[in-house]
Amino acid sequence: MNSERYFYRFEVAYDGSNYHGWLDNYEVQTVQGVIKESAQILADQVVRVEGSSRTDKGVHALQHMIRIEIDKDLDPEYFLNSLQGITPYDIEIISCERTTKDWHPRFHAVAKRYLYRIWNGPRRSLFGSDTSWWIRSQLDVDSMNEVAQCFVGKHDFASFRTRSKDEPEDSVRTIHEFRVQRNGDHVLIQVVGNGFLYRMVRNLTGTLVEVGRGMKEASEVPKILAAQDRTAAGMAAPPEGLFLAEVSYDPDNIPRCRDEDSLFKH
């Protein structure tokens, strides 16, 4: 048996509608599990797959960086093309290159950009129900965007975390940019930060939507942030509108919120 290990860095995207999240789980279908199974077929061995984020059931990704570890020296182009050929239609294998054991897709990330899509029209979007949250009542996007700015900077986001046994106690994170914008019936929420707590983006989105619906006053939100109490904040937004959009490993190249027409170009 070959004792030497080889490491490959992949960029992938996926529609999470048919998956119970990223993390491998033998009882249900997950994105990590499907990629792992596909790679094991190619390598004819047990492989190790690490990811840049642990997305929940129904959450999507436009850019999810992963590392695959095997004991075979495969040509990256061959590995890429072969993996593209056997993964399901809702997982896209975008690129592959060699890396080392010293690079970890999650722990070495310096910033991530998430986006959340809302369909804010009188009728449900027939072809967007799996990738957006339908809210019929008109949202006050200007108020939502104004309130979002109170989250920018370094704060304790305990009010917007859902407790998880796998997470560290520290709930301080830095938000670099937060934007809420409308284009017709589409409302897009984008947030860039150095890291995110479990369900933090969905919890932040839920509170912003309550402001947009007039259920919460804008003046309440800074108090909710300061309370460091999850029960003080709004409900969690449903998972289907959330996308992991971008992951950066370069502190000199922090992602920025994009204009609406370029959100799905990568």
pTM value is: 0.94
Averaged pLDDT, 78-97: 97
**Structure-block tokens of residue 129:** 């129900």
Predicted local distance difference test score (pLDDT) of residue 247: 98
pLDDT score of 99 more than 90: yes
Active site residues: 56
- pLDDT at site 266: 43
Domains of the chain, residue spans: 6-99, 111-251
pLDDT one-digit tens code per residue, 25-84 = 989 999 999 999 999 999 999 999 999 999 999 999 999 999 999 999 999 999 999 999
Provide the percentage of residues in the chain whose pLDDT is more than 90: 88
Share of residues in the chain with pLDDT > 70 (%): 95
Least confident segment among 121-125, 145-149, 166-170, 185-189: 166-170
111-251 has the same fold as 6-99? yes
Q: Thinking of the domain 111-251, which architecture would CATH place it in?
A: 2-Layer Sandwich (3.30)
What mean pLDDT do residues 110-138 have? Answer: 93
Per the model's pLDDT, the better-predicted residue between 109 and 165 turns out to be 109
Q: Is the pLDDT of residue 22 over 70?
A: yes
189, pLDDT greater than 70: yes
Written as one letter, the residue type at 222 is P
Task: Reply yes or no on whether the pLDDT at 165 is more than 50.
Answer: yes
Identify the burial level of 44 via C-beta atoms within 10 angstroms of its C-beta, where 0-12 means exposed, 13-18 middle and 19 or more buried: exposed
Q: Give the mean pLDDT of 220-232.
A: 95
Query: Is the alpha carbon torsion for 163, 167, 168, 173 positive or negative?
Result: negative
C-alpha 103/C-alpha 109 separation (Å) is 10
Contacts of 173 (CB under 8 A, 6+ apart): 154, 155, 157, 193, 194, 195, 196, 197, 200
Query: How far apart are the C-alpha atoms of 263 and 112, rounded to whole Å?
Result: 14
Fold annotation for 6-99: Alpha-Beta Plaits (3.30.70)
Question: In this predicted structure, what is the pLDDT of residue 264?
Answer: 55
Mean pLDDT rounded to a whole number for the chain: 94
